[in-house]
Structure 1
Amino acid sequence: MSVWGHFVAFSKCTALLSLRILLLVPAGLPVHSQGDSLSDNKVMDNITVRQGETLILRCAQGDIVTHTAWLNRSSILYAGDEKWSVDPRVSLVTLNQEEFTIKIENVDMTDEGQYVCAVQTSSRPTTTVIHVLVQVPPKIIDLSRDIVVNEGSNVTLMCQAIGKPEPFISWKRISSSGDLATDDDYLEIPSISRQRAGTYECTAVNDIDTDTQTVDITVNYAPTVSDGRDVGVTLGHRGVLECEADAVPEADFEWYKDDRRLSNGFDGIEIVHTGSLSRLTFFNVSDGDYGNYTCVAINKLGSSHTSFLMYVVIEPTSSTLLQGPKAVQDGNGTAMGVHLDTCLFVIMFIPFLMKF
């Protein structure tokens, strides 16, 4: 037989088979039939299934069944025990005079819609219509990336999700207070401050499940330096000046004595920066180390500074107690020396006064 002959034979076979299906399932598959005594049309309740689950479609038969088929919209899934669908998820479960059941595994949104069971019995054809609803858990599909902004900028965060039923979107700031929240796809933060920096959580929720993702906001701001504290140090001892700065990004530090910038290792000093803290250490304080110092904290948004005074403290000894007012200084003049002088004067004259 020629190729054309094979094609003609195949076309006739397809036409006959299609004709049998069309006779079995009338065009349009009416859901309600009024006054039709030749066929029965039944509308079943909706079936709701979650995405990823297995859908079972059952069709009751009865009498002597001559033809039977399951259809999805315009596609034939099964005609009797013959599978027409090429979808591997579709399979036959039961086929007998009482029941014609198929299943669809790992259901997806594309499986939603109308399904028809068409049965031809010895008495009349019947159709059963089932509408399948597929529920889909929420999934966040579009979310703002982590951002870095300068203090005072306007910030907008976006969170969009899909799902069925349609997900409800909400935002909140993850902190002890949770002081910023909204029920919208977009979160607006006008003129953001450093206190608003942190992690923000978007939640998408529907009747099926919840999806949550987070966005980090980093707020840059200029340094703020804590007030310097004066330090008294004894000659030849160890002295430490500490400078702390609050800044994002972290500040770089510079140290000055009067107008001269200090370098690490210069004149026996050590400068160490650890995060927000800078420490200036004198391992063996000399006379030239006493005086005024300035710490400057700098980042790309600005700078801040504070001043320190390192003054001399003389340790009291048995010899210095006899030297009077020049013995001890505590950074407040010679007050302690005056008190010691008065005390020694009283002690020296007590025996003399007792003679009278």
Structure 2
Amino acid sequence: MIWYVATLIASVFSTRGTAAQGAHGVREEPQFVTARAGENVILGCDVSHPLNGQPYVVEWFKYGMPIPFFINFRFYPPHVDPEYAGRASLHGKSSLRIEDVRSDDHGWYECKVLMLEQQYDTFHNGSWVHLTVNAPPTFTDTPPQYVEAKEGGSITLTCIAFGNPKPSVSWLREGSLMVSSAKYKVSDGSLTVLSITREDRGAYMCRAFSPQGEAIHTTRLLVQGPPFIISPPENITVNISQDAFFTCQAEAYPRNLTYTWFWEEDNVFFKNDLKRRVSILIDGSLIIAHVKPEDAGKYTCAPSNSLGRPPTASAYLTVQYPARVVNMPSVIYAAIGLPGFIRCPVDANPPVTLVKWKKDGLPLRIDKYPGWSQMEDGSIRVAEVTEDSLGTYTCMPYNALGSMGWSPPAPLVLKDPPKFSVVPGGVYRQEAGRELVIPCEAEGDPFPNITWRKVGKPSKSKHNVLPRGSLQLKSLTKEDHGEWECVATNVATSITASTHVQVIGTSPHAPTNVHVAAFSTLANVSWEAGYNGGFQQTFSVWLKRERLGPYDWLSIPVPGGHDWMVVPGLEPETTYQFSILAQNKLGTGPFSEVVTVNTLVFPTSTPEPLVLLTPPRCLTANRTQQGVLLTWIPPANHTAPIQHYVMEFRLGERWEVLDDSIPAGETELVARDLIQEAWYEFRVMAIMDDMISEPSNVVGVSSTGNSIKIFRQAPTTRGV
């Protein structure tokens, strides 16, 4: 480009020099001079000077400026433009010396020599010079040394650099070149940081580079946001009366940090006994002076600078102390004729290792009292409370740190235990929505208090305990179905009596005890039916692959009301989930538990022979003087010898074992001592190797007064 401009200028001014060509020769070609900023340079003026000493004027022009910036005539002081004042001077007869060259000096220069005593077309000549000034990069615009930005916002940092040749501008962080990404945008010397987080804080370096050198500017980004905990508290264990120290150091900008500490959920300064012994240091640390056992628990640090939600960090304080007695009762009550306990309420950390007792002020020799023993927690167990138990007791617990001393004395007082005067029956059947009252009354001195509780899942329906202790269920619901307990309590002890409530006219209850035996392409699913709600129920098997979603379950109806089913068509080496759903004419019940199984690898060899065990048959019940005689016939098919039989019974919904070791050669059993006014059901199963058969048919027995009524149910079979 420079050569193109030089050629153009030479052609334009070639005609101006024709008048002088005869006397002074042909005008010289343009010169090219290169200098570094700050150096000194001489721009040559190649002209022919008069030999006879004629006067002349030297003028220097810069391309783009209308008037000369340097004029020199003989011995007069030269005229110099302010931009070159002090830097430009004549060198030799007409060359120009420029000191401390600047980047702005870059460009074309023209030298003219005016011969004052010659005609216009012959009095001047001169030459052109191009000055190239190489300058290292310098910044003309940079961001401040510190910039602030809010967490979640964005910011743009811009650097503009000048130099010759033109420098390239890049951004670096931690020594690494930054490029455009989802987080950063880099373009034309600008850096934009998006979605600012705490991790974006720190130094960002702007670098301008060219062959002449480089320039660097550093800006630090300060991120405004909530504090960040850099040194959270840690769990500590101290002995009683020592000081506890929790650290909690946080960083934030702005740094107007305040620290709040909590014990459990309460501010430590709001806990009466603690507030006088705690202090929070300026660095956030918490000191608890002279710790007590009650100080143990979770401590939470919450630093804040009024921006955003304060972070939290928690740690636990464990206080070790000698064993002590807490809340020793003023009187110990024991029920005459029943087992009883003389307890020492101990609090200790580490755990108690020994408890010593005194009775009436003398060391207690437990081995001197028949039926007395000391339990692991130090309490005394009395097999049968008698007058020998009377006395005043004190206890002293010990642990690895020692003991805090003897308990207050507590006299033992004998009381009569509660006694049921009216006991609830074994089973109550009532329709849903109707009222049911179950009697239960008790007596004793002092008079007992009667409460009722449902065994297992509690009932959410409304029930009342009548003044004399009976349970009133005003409007029976499905949740009321199950076992209930009447509890009679006085200061001496508590006694219970159980009954079973069957709510008729509801949807079925969930099947239980779901079992899935998985093979390569099929699964044998079995379950125990829940209460049918008073109507015949049917079942369906629901299954899906585990990886599928909640709406991908498939259902398969179970034929014939069976409680087992073989599910074919499964994929080998696949995880499946199974659940059972029961249904009667009133609707469907809840699903059973979900059972997850893995199918087996598809067999490549001859499969093992099928193991077969069918249930015992024809279970019957007959009344005898000794009780109910239960008889049965052995299984029709079994691939190995029968080892023994198991007889089960139930009064309500739950099956219990009557005898689990009936020899294989016997096929009868006498059930003795049946509860009067109760409904019993019996079933028998066979055991072969590690396999248990499906139950036999169920036989029902109702005892009313001195009579026993026998009911037979159809046999049921299950898959193998």
Pick the TM interval, shorter chain: 0.5 to 0.7
Q: How many residues align?
A: 295
Q: 1:204 & 1:114 partners in 2: Cα distance? A: 30
TM-score by length of 2: 0.36
Q: Secondary structure at the match of 1:40?
A: coil
Amino acid at match of 2:59: L
Cross-structure match for 1:231 = 236
Q: Secondary structure at the match of 2:207?
A: strand
Comparing 152-161 and 137-146, the one that deviates more: 137-146
The one of 219, 226, 249 aligned to 1:222:
226
Shift in alpha-carbon separation, 1:290–1:308, aligned structure 2, 3 A: same
Shift in alpha-carbon separation, 1:292–1:210, aligned structure 2, 3 A: closer
Query: In the alignment, does 2:329 pair up with 1:329?
Result: no
Cross-structure match for 2:51 = 64
Cross-structure match for 2:196 = 192
Shift in alpha-carbon separation, 1:91–1:304, aligned structure 2, 3 A: closer
Q: Does the Cα contact within 8 Å between 2:300 and 2:313 map onto a contact in 1?
A: yes
Q: Does the Cα contact within 8 Å between 2:60 and 2:112 map onto a contact in 1?
A: no
Q: Does the Cα contact within 8 Å between 1:329 and 1:336 map onto a contact in 2?
A: no
Amino acid at match of 1:268: R
Shift of 1:55: 2.3
Q: 1:203 & 1:293 partners in 2: Cα distance? A: 49
Matches within 5 A, 1:3-22: none
Cross-structure match for 2:209 = 205
Cross-structure match for 2:73 = 79
Shift of 1:147: 1.6
Q: 2:133 & 2:156 partners in 1: Cα distance? A: 33
Q: 1:257 & 1:30 partners in 2: Cα distance? A: 93
TM-score by length of 1: 0.68
Shift in alpha-carbon separation, 1:111–1:171, aligned structure 2, 3 A: closer
Q: Secondary structure at the match of 2:276?
A: helix
Amino acid at match of 2:282: H
Q: Secondary structure at the match of 1:233?
A: strand
Q: 1:113 & 1:280 partners in 2: Cα distance? A: 75
Shift of 1:157: 0.9
Shift of 1:234: 0.9
Shift of 1:211: 1.9
Shift in alpha-carbon separation, 1:269–1:103, aligned structure 2, 3 A: same
Shift in alpha-carbon separation, 1:94–1:72, aligned structure 2, 3 A: closer
Shift in alpha-carbon separation, 1:31–1:256, aligned structure 2, 3 A: same
Amino acid at match of 1:84: P
Shift of 1:312: 2.2
Q: Deviations over 1:255-292 (max 9, x none)?
A: 12345433599423321132xxx221123223443344
Q: Deviations over 1:168-223 (max 9, x none)?
A: 211111x16x2634563211222123222211111223343322211111123333
Comparing 152-161 and 77-86, the one that deviates more: 77-86
Matches within 5 A, 1:46-195: 46-60=32-46, 61=48, 64=51, 66-73=54-61, 74-75=67-68, 76-86=70-80, 87-95=85-93, 100-108=94-102, 109-110=104-105, 112-118=107-113, 126-145=125-144, 146-173=146-173, 175=174, 178=176, 180-181=178-179, 182=186, 184-195=188-199
The one of 298, 303, 314 aligned to 1:307:
314
The one of 9, 24, 42 aligned to 2:28:
42
Shift in alpha-carbon separation, 1:153–1:135, aligned structure 2, 3 A: same
Shift of 1:103: 1.4
Q: Secondary structure at the match of 1:59?
A: coil
Q: Secondary structure at the match of 2:248?
A: strand
Q: 2:57 & 2:106 partners in 1: Cα distance? A: 17
Structure with the larger helix share: 1
Q: 2:49 & 2:56 partners in 1: Cα distance? A: 11
Q: 1:315 & 1:89 partners in 2: Cα distance? A: 93
Q: Does the Cα contact within 8 Å between 1:81 and 1:92 map onto a contact in 2?
A: no
Q: Deviations over 1:296-317 (max 9, x none)?
A: 222312212233332321379x
Q: 2:140 & 2:276 partners in 1: Cα distance? A: 61
Which protein has greater RCO, CA pairs closer than 8 Å, 6+ apart? Answer: 1
Report sequence identity in percent: 21
Query: In the alignment, does 2:300 pair up with 1:294?
Result: yes
Q: 1:279 & 1:336 partners in 2: Cα distance? A: 38
Q: Does the Cα contact within 8 Å between 2:28 and 2:127 map onto a contact in 1?
A: yes
Amino acid at match of 1:232: T
Shift of 1:134: 3.1
Q: 1:179 & 1:168 partners in 2: Cα distance? A: 13
Q: Does the Cα contact within 8 Å between 1:68 and 1:117 map onto a contact in 2?
A: no
Amino acid at match of 2:302: V
Shift in alpha-carbon separation, 1:249–1:94, aligned structure 2, 3 A: same
Q: 1:285 & 1:150 partners in 2: Cα distance? A: 42
Shift in alpha-carbon separation, 1:255–1:289, aligned structure 2, 3 A: same
Q: 1:72 & 1:171 partners in 2: Cα distance? A: 43
The one of 263, 283, 290 aligned to 1:257:
263
Shift in alpha-carbon separation, 1:157–1:125, aligned structure 2, 3 A: closer
Cross-structure match for 1:32 = 14
Shift in alpha-carbon separation, 1:83–1:57, aligned structure 2, 3 A: farther
Q: 2:193 & 2:269 partners in 1: Cα distance? A: 43
Amino acid at match of 1:142: D
Q: Does the Cα contact within 8 Å between 1:255 and 1:261 map onto a contact in 2?
A: yes
Q: Does the Cα contact within 8 Å between 2:44 and 2:129 map onto a contact in 1?
A: no
Q: 1:237 & 1:58 partners in 2: Cα distance? A: 92
Structure number with larger C-alpha Rg: 2
Shift in alpha-carbon separation, 1:119–1:130, aligned structure 2, 3 A: farther
Shift of 1:254: 0.4
Amino acid at match of 2:349: Q
Q: Does the Cα contact within 8 Å between 2:293 and 2:320 map onto a contact in 1?
A: no
Q: 2:130 & 2:311 partners in 1: Cα distance? A: 70
Q: Does the Cα contact within 8 Å between 2:167 and 2:208 map onto a contact in 1?
A: yes
Q: Secondary structure at the match of 1:195?
A: helix
Q: Does the Cα contact within 8 Å between 1:117 and 1:129 map onto a contact in 2?
A: no
